[in-house]
Structure 1
Amino acid sequence: MNAAQWLLRESGLTSVHATGRDAALIILSRSCRMFAYGASALVLALFFAELGFSDAAIGLFMTLTLCGDVFLSLLLTQVADRVGRRRTLMVGSLLMVASGVVFGLCERYWVLLAAAVVGVISATGGDFGPFRAIEESVLAELTGPGTRPDVLSWYVTAASLGSSVGFEFSGRFVEALRRREGWSLLDAYHGCFWLYTIMGLVNIACVLGLSERCELKKRPPVGGEGVVAREEVQGLLERPGRDGRDDKVADKPRRSYFAQISRETLSVMSVLWFLLMVDSMADGMVYMSLTTYYLDQKFHLPKSALGDMMSAAYVLCTVTSVFAGPLARYIGLVNTMVFTHIPSSAAVLFFPFPSSVAATFGLLLVRVGLNNMDQAPRAALIAAVVKPEERTAVMGITTLLRTLASVTGPSVTGFLAANDRFWIAFVAAGALRLAYDLGLFAMFINIKLHKHEHEQVEPEDGMGGGLGRADEGEHTA
């Protein structure tokens, strides 16, 4: 194996290529969507301020938009496997386009609010809509245990890159439009939402290119026991009874459009959901917007310097996300989640203590640079412990619970900041994140993975640390 082949394999690009066109289209769709989310999030509050709306109205808009995105996501992810994943993604893309058109044309508060709540508008730059859970479920469907961490890692990496480019591009885009004759600042903000609409159209094009492989496959039970051919089942159902009547399916359960989650899955996921909510509440206490505000209050830095610091941190985040998949192959999913997240959590805990800008910036780089390395292994872990037909629904519920937990954080930080105790928010958030890390390690390090997988994927040579270690057809974390 030459150096180029080794690099392609270790970076995970070989896994992405082997997965096929569907995975590439989903990754492209996510990166374009996160570009749109970043571009709109930068100007959204400024757009409403330029329209003359109060801070309270802007805050209400942000809250209701987030709630709308979360519950729309929950609804669509619960029915996606029944009505079709591609159809559901198409509905989300159409709603994204519709919201972008409304924001590109309208300036009435209640119309904009309705478009944001019913449609898909990201108020924070995060992916809280219906797309992520479905896309992660599709990628889990397209991959096996050996390639899944790599593909999900590039899914996260593309998202980070899209967000950072969106934030950077939208600021320059607004300034460029303002310099054009006859363009006001408000017109420039409207222009950003037309970019949002264009990215929605790109999402539609990507969804149209997806194949039947993305849909949930009907699988026989593991081990093959109790498998009956479809024709045999039909014959049994239609075989005449002794009284000459057809014994049709009088007791056949009705088909539900909402996904059903088994008790076995709930017993595992309830623990993970609790831990993830703890982590999300901690993250909500120190959102990046709150972090930049703290830096501004403590060091009185120029806004350009704050922007440069955040940009550098997110570039590092994009780079490190590439290594999440390869690392998971060698040390396992849970180990990757825990051992990359602990330094980030510790950086949050110690963030308020340095008195110099340089040391504080160093902690910011550690925090943001390592913060996303657990995302791909987390999605792979969920895919490995739940049944394939439950993945979309479980990932949708996971997004809902994490988001609801995170919205409680800013209010706690606001109370502390109002009482000159802003620094306590970082200490508390860091401690909660560390508790999540240790709890995750204690509860999931020995859990059996892939026991619902029907096609065992042989790991490549050199894969170890959990994913490459077989144990009677199953793997441990």
Structure 2
Amino acid sequence: MLLPAGAAPEARLLLIGRALRAFTDGFIAILLPVYLLALGLGTWEVGLISTATLFGSALATLAVGQWGHRFPQRRLLLAAAGLMCLTGLLLAGLGGVGDFWPLLLVAFVGTMNPSAGDVSVFLPLEHARLAESAQGEARTFLFARYTFVGALCAAAGSLATAIPHALTAAGLAQLDALRLMFVAYGLTGVAIFVLYRALPDHHVHEQAAAPAPLGPSRGIVIKLAALFSVDALAGGLIVNTLLALWLFERFDLSLVAAGQFFFWAGLLSAGSQLAAPWAARRIGLINTMVFTHIPSSVCLILAAFADSLPVALALLFLRSALSQMDVPTRSAFVMAVVTPAERAAAASFTAVPRSLAAAASPAIGGALFSVGWLAAPLVACGVLKIAYDLALWHAFRRHGEAAP
């Protein structure tokens, strides 16, 4: 993978690792509700398991922020890869009658990702390593490349949802076909473990600034974390798992068609993330985040009331073309406004409230679906996100102009 000028070679390993994880996330987020419904669980249980996943990721990320600076980042990344392997294999092995609580436990402690973005414990660790791999504008481009690779590979992964359908058509039982996909998720964790073994150990080679807990930047990080939590609370209402469920319930969309939708939506999202650094160069990081996010939220609200599938898909495609442009700019902004030694802690402490806030939302969204209020999660998500964007712009627009 090509790196931005000035980026360290180790960034290529991180980009490949992100690509592998995103590919598996792309099909797991769509197959998860199908798998759980096939086991006899309801829409509320689907939401609860998504909530457990996000809440567990939040606690793991908090632990990284609080105590991760005591350990080599490479060792923590290897541990996360091992946990990913166990998550996939355990989910594939469960699924019998009465296995809801074991499934909930695995979702809580594992690395499964039901959302469009990356919410796992990998995120703060990889962000800290990426921030060390480039400086200034090159860092923004590197984060854009990181999120672009993730979005592109997640889009490709969504097409893999056709594999269980093909296996079922060939005579394999549906549950067995779905379990094979979770096995593939676990084996990807093994591949990432091997890949990250090649990363240099920064506790062996002297660093310019050793990782440290939050200090001078604590105030601005807390303010950002509070705002990001509102955005995450909104996004959790309609994570990819629940968006797929909405399409299944609202328009009776097939699994193969849903996979195709998420593929094209992912491509639009990936392309927009590549454009984000150029937009940030011209109008600033904060303006790029806000002025692309608000129109995407309006599209989501309108999609909730669409009376035909083509109209709904068109609005959701337009949303996908805009909604993720804030991801690389947000990451670059956080890394730019804290000291180098605080970056790992800042990445964790801005990610933790996002995960905690998002953790409750899928259960709420699933409950609303279960009582027939199919439009409510989409509308609530859009309204909350618009409120977040306006508050962020008001609080940090001057920082955005000055941030490198």
* Structure-2-length-normalised TM-score: 0.86
Partner of 2:173: 184
Give the 3-state SS of the residue equivalent to 1:143 in structure 2: coil
Residue 53 of structure 2 aligns to which amino acid in structure 1? T
Q: 1:136 aligns with which of 122, 127, 130?
A: 127
More helix by percentage: 2
Q: CA contact under 8 A between 2:209 and 2:341: conserved in structure 1? A: no
Cα offset, 1:134, TM superposition: 0.9
Instruction: Tell me whether 1:444 sits opposite 2:366 in the alignment.
Output: no
Partner of 1:23: 11
Residue 163 of structure 1 aligns to which amino acid in structure 2? A
Give the 3-state SS of the residue equivalent to 2:267 in structure 1: helix
* Greater mean alpha carbon deviation, residues 171-180 or residues 155-164: 171-180
- In the TM superposition, what whole-angstrom CA distance separates every residue of 1:32-90 from its partner, at most 9, and x where no partner exists? 01112223333334334445566666554443333223212221343333211111101
Q: CA contact under 8 A between 2:288 and 2:326: conserved in structure 1? A: yes
Give the 3-state SS of the residue equivalent to 1:276 in structure 2: helix
* Greater mean alpha carbon deviation, residues 301-310 or residues 397-406: 301-310
Partner of 2:357: 405
- CA–CA separation in structure 2 for the residues paired with 1:101 and 1:290: 23
Cα offset, 1:295, TM superposition: 5.2
Cα offset, 1:374, TM superposition: 0.5
- CA–CA separation in structure 1 for the residues paired with 2:165 and 2:49: 25
- Structure 2 CA distance for partners of 1:111 and 1:71, relative to 1, 3 Å: same
The runs of 5 or more residues in structure 2 that have no matched partner are none
- CA–CA separation in structure 2 for the residues paired with 1:432 and 1:58: 23
Residues 354-373 of structure 1 aligned to structure 2 (within 5 Å) = 354-355=306-307, 357-373=309-325
- CA–CA separation in structure 2 for the residues paired with 1:289 and 1:94: 24
Give the 3-state SS of the residue equivalent to 2:136 in structure 1: coil
- In the TM superposition, what whole-angstrom CA distance separates every residue of 1:183-229 from its partner, at most 9, and x where no partner exists? 43333223212211221122112211212469883449xxxxxxxxx
- Structure 2 CA distance for partners of 1:290 and 1:311, relative to 1, 3 Å: same
Q: 2:164 aligns with which of 152, 170, 174?
A: 174
Partner of 1:225: none
Residue 361 of structure 1 aligns to which amino acid in structure 2? L
Q: CA contact under 8 A between 1:81 and 1:216: conserved in structure 2? A: no
* Greater mean alpha carbon deviation, residues 437-446 or residues 300-309: 300-309
- Structure 1 runs (4+) deviating above 6 angstroms are none
- CA–CA separation in structure 1 for the residues paired with 2:138 and 2:81: 27
Instruction: Tell me whether 1:261 sits opposite 2:261 in the alignment.
Output: no
- Structure 2 CA distance for partners of 1:286 and 1:192, relative to 1, 3 Å: closer
Partner of 1:463: none
- In the TM superposition, what whole-angstrom CA distance separates every residue of 1:295-315 from its partner, at most 9, and x where no partner exists? 566556666555544432222
Residue 32 of structure 1 aligns to which amino acid in structure 2? L
* Greater mean alpha carbon deviation, residues 312-321 or residues 117-126: 117-126
The structure with more radius of gyration? 1
Partner of 2:154: 163
Cα offset, 1:140, TM superposition: 0.8
- Structure 2 CA distance for partners of 1:304 and 1:84, relative to 1, 3 Å: closer
- CA–CA separation in structure 1 for the residues paired with 2:254 and 2:106: 35
Partner of 2:281: 329
Instruction: Tell me whether 1:75 sits opposite 2:43 in the alignment.
Output: no
> When the two structures are aligned, how many residues end up with a matched partner?
400
- Structure 2 CA distance for partners of 1:377 and 1:118, relative to 1, 3 Å: same
Question: How big is the alpha-carbon RMSD for the aligned residues of Structure 1 and Structure 2?
Answer: 3.2
Instruction: Tell me whether 1:66 sits opposite 2:19 in the alignment.
Output: no
- Structure 2 CA distance for partners of 1:436 and 1:48, relative to 1, 3 Å: closer
Partner of 1:316: 268
Q: CA contact under 8 A between 1:142 and 1:213: conserved in structure 2? A: no
The runs of 5 or more residues in structure 1 that have no matched partner are 1-11, 221-257, 449-465, 467-474
Give the 3-state SS of the residue equivalent to 2:298 in structure 1: helix
Partner of 1:204: 193
Partner of 1:37: 25
Aligned sequence identity (%): 29
Cα offset, 1:161, TM superposition: 1.6
Q: CA contact under 8 A between 2:48 and 2:363: conserved in structure 1? A: no
Instruction: Tell me whether 1:47 sits opposite 2:38 in the alignment.
Output: no
Partner of 1:459: none
Q: 1:388 aligns with which of 304, 318, 340?
A: 340
* Structure-1-length-normalised TM-score: 0.74
